[in-house]
Amino acid sequence: MNIIFVLIPIAILFVIIAGVVFFWAIRSEQFEDLDRQGSNILFDEELPARKPAKPADHDPQP
């Protein structure tokens, strides 16, 4: 029976933490436009083509 005095405050603490995280996510707009972020992973990004490196000018040492 004494364990309930430990478990109830721990459960209340978990609920408070979950509520804080949930409201933080709402305020920081984490739940806005869920479809776009989910489909972005399916498409590859077009990376610009890299130019070939110029060969180094080596002067032969006499």
Q: What is the pLDDT of residues 22-49, one digit of tens each?
A: 999 889 887 777 666 667 667 766 766 6
The residue extents of the domains of the chain are 7-31
- pTM (two decimals): 0.52
Q: In the 8-state DSSP scheme, what is residue 28?
A: T
- CA 19 – CA 25 distance, rounded (Å): 10
Q: Look at residue 13 in the predicted model and tell me its pLDDT.
A: 98
C-alpha span between 7 and 42 (Å, rounded): 44
Residue 16 has pLDDT above 90, yes or no: yes
